[in-house]
Amino acid sequence: MERLACAEIPALPLALLLRRHPEWRRHPSAVVADDAPQSPVLWVNGPAQQGGVMPGLRYAAALAILPGLRAEVVPEADVVRAVDAVTDALRRFSPHVEPSRDEPGVFWLDASGLERLHASLGEWAAGIRSDLARAGYAAAIVVGFTRFGTYAAARTAQGVRVFADAAEESGAARSVALRHLHVRPETLDALARLGVRTVDDLLHLPAGGLLERFGPSVERLHRQASGDLWTPLVPAPAVEPVRRHLVLDVPETDAQRLVFVLKQALHPLLARLAARGHALAVLDLRLRLDGGGWSADVIRPASPTLDAARLTDLVRLHLEAVRVDAGVIEVSVEADGVPAAPEQLALAAEQTARDLEAGTRALDRLRARYGDDIVVCAALRDGHLPEARFGWEAAAQVRPPRPRRVPARPLVRRMLDRPVPLPGAPSTAFTAGPFIVSGGWWAARPREGGVRETYRAYYFMEGAGGELWWVYFDRVRGRWYLHGLVE
């Protein structure tokens, strides 16, 4: 059976707060949504719970219960950066890591086959826990067989736990109290009035009325616990850091000239972040002095931004306070981003450095010189065969790109103008297929040569040089064709 592991860092935003203020660990501490009296309390530590402060209370009410409560806002950007950093750290133990979208601090790892690389899965899980501990996180690691089973067990586990079989995992998950799961307090009270306090109690309720009585969250929890809602592991793709490294020709001692150099590096960084749908939350700036080492500094805007002028001003203010008498010979900047608001991305697209009007004028000159059909762009069309699913239409002007976010970069299929007949059946093995395309019986007139019906079996196969070919067998004509290459 496939093995799955769940790594949980309890209350990750609270862990970030206590890392920022280590002296708060022995005092009642909490994470609040905003620094306002009516802001809700999101996370609390043990001393705060013992004092009667629970998540969901208003900040003013929590202070009335515990006047010595220490509370602060943990920005969403910090939580996103921490989740990304932990995900990268976990990739050293498994190539497939999925962070939870709903609960920051919960991660699933594909553990299948890893027992062949380690003495045991318990040793592998202990290595994960030790690595996270060095990063300042106390985590629970549970190795089992299902997403819900490992998650539920991790919520109450201490250290490392490895299930020997699915039955053991199911029994442990069913015994977990609902208060340890992601269930709202008012829902817990309503379920408790029915005597439902554990996952096993919940599974004894009829599934039909849960949605109407308790809402979609409880109905979804019931389906997950019963196994009716199974979702595969969706690993987060590894993201290349957004970084620029510049080597200066001569040591630079003037702060204003350094600002100009960094300004040239900022625009490409922001463009790459915007293409990912992100805005800059933190700018890591490193300067190497002539004859010395590297100086590392962090520039953090008050809110995530894609405004180059705003960032340039922050860089200028920072460099004015830094002594560079020895001269800077290398500059390294790295941008950490968080998901940007749609209006930020729209503004970034409007402020692009590309002169679209100049591009349109260039197209006009090409058409005037070579004809109206010389500049075209692809357009989707309704068609049955692959070559009929797109066409070419005149490009009247240059339009800004509108990229969309995808979990993984797709392969590009480069279709030939005309399928190339192959001398015989391909000799190499197929990697995928067949994918059948058939039809043509609705055509009003027979095609050339009397061929009216179409029946193609498409395959992907690896060529002699390692390239990926897109081929098909035409059953009507009885021969093979090369239709394109995949890159």
Q: Within this chain, do residues 278 and 229 fall inside the same structural domain, yes or no?
A: no
pLDDT tens, position by position, 126-150: 999 999 999 889 999 999 999 999 9
Amino acid at 103: E
Q: Within this chain, do residues 13 and 136 fall inside the same structural domain, yes or no?
A: yes
Q: Within this chain, do residues 131 and 56 fall inside the same structural domain, yes or no?
A: yes
User: 236, 255, 273 — which closes off a domain?
Assistant: 236
Cβ-contact 477, 465 below 8 angstroms: no
Across 283-304, average pLDDT: 82
385 falls within a domain = yes
Given this model, what pLDDT does residue 348 score? 62
pLDDT tens, position by position, 433-442: 788 888 765 5
38 falls within a domain = yes
| Tokens linked to 182 | 């992601």
Across 225-238, average pLDDT: 85
Given this model, what pLDDT does residue 126 score? 95
Tell me how far apart the alpha carbons of residues 457 and 446 are, in angstroms, rounded to a whole number. 21
Question: Residue 370: which domain range?
Answer: 356-394
- pLDDT band of residue 355 (cuts 50, 70, 90) is low
402 falls within a domain = no
Query: Before 232, cis peptide (omega within 30)?
Result: no
Given this model, what pLDDT does residue 447 score? 47
Domain count, the chain: 4
Q: Within this chain, do residues 382 and 366 fall inside the same structural domain, yes or no?
A: yes
Q: Within this chain, do residues 293 and 310 fall inside the same structural domain, yes or no?
A: yes
Residue 350 has pLDDT above 70, yes or no: no
Q: Within this chain, do residues 388 and 328 fall inside the same structural domain, yes or no?
A: no
Q: Within this chain, do residues 180 and 324 fall inside the same structural domain, yes or no?
A: no
401 falls within a domain = no
- The pTM of the full predicted model, rounded to 2 decimals, is 0.59
pLDDT tens, position by position, 42-89: 999 999 999 999 888 899 999 999 999 999 999 887 888 899 889 999
217 falls within a domain = yes
294-323 in b/e form (b: 16+ CB < 10 A) is eeeeeebbeebbbbbeebbebbbebbeeee
Residue 12 has pLDDT above 80, yes or no: yes
Q: Within this chain, do residues 100 and 167 fall inside the same structural domain, yes or no?
A: yes
- The residue among 160, 157, 103, 150 whose CA lies nearest residue 3 is 150
Given this model, what pLDDT does residue 233 score? 87
Instruction: Based on DSSP, count helices (H) and strands (E) in the chain, helices before strands.
Output: 15, 19
Q: Within this chain, do residues 255 and 146 fall inside the same structural domain, yes or no?
A: no
Across 189-205, average pLDDT: 92
CATH value at residue 330: 3.30.1490.100
DSSP bridge pairs for 252: 328
- pLDDT band of residue 168 (cuts 50, 70, 90) is very high
CATH value at residue 174: 3.30.70.270
- pLDDT band of residue 365 (cuts 50, 70, 90) is confident
pLDDT tens, position by position, 17-37: 998 899 998 999 999 998 888
Please state the three-class secondary structure of 131-169 as a single string. HHHHCCCCCEEEEECCHHHHHHHHHHCCCEEECCCHHHH
Q: Within this chain, do residues 435 and 314 fall inside the same structural domain, yes or no?
A: no
Across 259-278, average pLDDT: 84
Q: Within this chain, do residues 43 and 167 fall inside the same structural domain, yes or no?
A: yes
256 falls within a domain = yes
Pick 325 or 81 by higher pLDDT.
Answer: 81
403 falls within a domain = no
Q: Within this chain, do residues 123 and 80 fall inside the same structural domain, yes or no?
A: yes
User: 169, 204, 236 — which closes off a domain?
Assistant: 236
- The residue among 165, 218, 216, 217 whose CA lies nearest residue 191 is 218
- pLDDT band of residue 246 (cuts 50, 70, 90) is confident
314 falls within a domain = yes
Q: Provide the greatest CA pair distance for the chain.
A: 90
Given this model, what pLDDT does residue 24 score? 92
Residue 409 has pLDDT above 50, yes or no: yes
Q: How far apart are the first and last CA of the chain?
A: 34
Pick 110 or 344 by higher pLDDT.
Answer: 110
**Torsion of Cα atoms, 129 then 135 then 137 then 140, to 10°:** -10
- pLDDT band of residue 448 (cuts 50, 70, 90) is very low
Pick 444 or 464 by higher pLDDT.
Answer: 464
